[in-house]
Structure 1
Amino acid sequence: MDDIREHYLAWLRDAHAMEEQALTMMRGMLSRLEHYPVLCARMEKHIAETERQAESLRKLLEGRDSGTSAVKDVLGKATALGQALSGMFADDEVIKGAMASYTFEQMEIAAYKVLISTAAVLEDTTAMAVFEENLAEEQDMADWLFDHLDQTTRIFLARDEAGLPARR
């Protein structure tokens, strides 16, 4: 059981770092969505959810005598910042950002499934409830992004065709 617990805590630290990375990515993208109000509003909602998720994971780690991984948090934030900054120079950054966000949501969904399975083995019902809530929010966001890719793409294409700043 000690090996399982070690994996569990490592995956929990990874999930916290993942949520911190998501926040950096979304905040970077948010500032460039002024012509996409529906996407902007949904991103703002998910930022609030993600802030709560990161805090819940931090509390779970502290309650299990395992702090967050400062190195993973910093590396994740640096990676996300690099991704956000690199999008500033792409003409189609909104589309690439939406696609990257959808992909990232799928990774988060998989991470929470792993955590739920491991928490079940360890009978950590308190954490399972947190992971299940986070999983539902990540699934909702992934579904929303997928369902709105057509709309986002069409807005982008119309703005580009009209000679308007399509990036923003």
Structure 2
Amino acid sequence: MATSRDILLDWLRNAHAMEVQAEEMFKSQARRIEHYPPLRERIERHLIETREQQAMLAQCLKQLGAEPSALKEIGARFMAMGQSLFQVASTDEVVKGAVLACSFKHMEIAVYRALAAAAKTAGENDVVRICETILPQEQAMADWLDQHLPELVEQYLVRAELPSVSAKR
């Protein structure tokens, strides 16, 4: 029978892999964005946070006598690659990327809330503290995307109607 600590460790590994996926997804998006500098700049800033989040989660696992799952990380990288290929093949790549990023951020928010509750139940206060550090970062990125998505869509549509202008990315 799994204990709350066992489940917490599994969820921490999942969260670490999720941040690996986020890093790969955002690196790919940032490299490809050409005509939407505010979006690229915000993604690049969040990439720094994402790498720090990975390090914090790895430290939590280490403190609990565990380590990230290489298998889960490989799966996360493949998922990010698939997402990237889907976007690249789209004529509205920048919009699809922003929508995907927005939904991914909201998923991360839910994950960190659940992880904090699990850590509290398992009596792992350091993990609770880390989740409470990461959560506002994810909320800030989600809020930024939520606020700027309509403007991004408008810019995309205007560019799409102009002759000899690329809107895709």
Return the TM-score normalized by structure 1: 0.96
Partner of 2:102: 102
Greater shift, 68-77 or 120-129, is seen at 120-129
Equivalents in 2 of 1:31, 1:64: separation in Å? 36
For 2:34 and 2:10, locate their aligned partners in 1 and report how far apart those are by CA, in whole Å: 38
Q: Which residue of 2 aligns with 1:93?
A: 93
Q: Distance in 1 between matches of 2:8 and 2:128?
A: 12
Q: Structure 2: which amino acid aligns with 1:105?
A: K
Name 1:143's counterpart in structure 2: 143
Computed over aligned residues only, the root mean square deviation of the Cα atoms, in angstroms, reads 1.2
Q: Which amino acid aligns with 1:166?
A: A
Unaligned ranges ≥5, structure 1: none
2:136 maps to amino acid: A
> What's the counterpart of residue 79 of structure 1?
79
Give the Cα–Cα distance (whole angstroms) in 1 for the partners of residues 4 and 81 of structure 2: 33
Task: Give the equivalent residue in structure 2 for 1:162.
Answer: 162
- Secondary structure of 2:145's match? helix
Name the CA distance, whole Å, in 1 between partners of 2:124 and 2:4: 12
**Residue aligning to 1:27:** 27
Count, aligned residues: 168
Note the C-alpha offset of 1:145: 0.3
In the TM superposition, residue 95 of structure 1 has moved relative to its aligned partner by 0.7
Aligned identity (percent) is 39
- Give the Cα–Cα distance (whole angstroms) in 2 for the partners of residues 167 and 4 of structure 1: 46
C-alpha deviation, 1:32, in angstroms? 1.6
TM-score by length of structure 2 reads 0.96
Looking at structure 2, the residues matched to 126 and 42 of structure 1 have their Cα atoms a distance apart, in angstroms, of 29
Distance 1:74 1:160 in 2: 36
Whole-Å Cα distance in 1 between the matches of residues 100 and 29 of structure 2?
A: 11
CA shift for structure 1 position 122: 2.0
For residues 86 and 107 of structure 1, the distance between their equivalents in structure 2, rounded to whole angstroms, comes to 19
Stretches (4+) displaced over 3 A = none
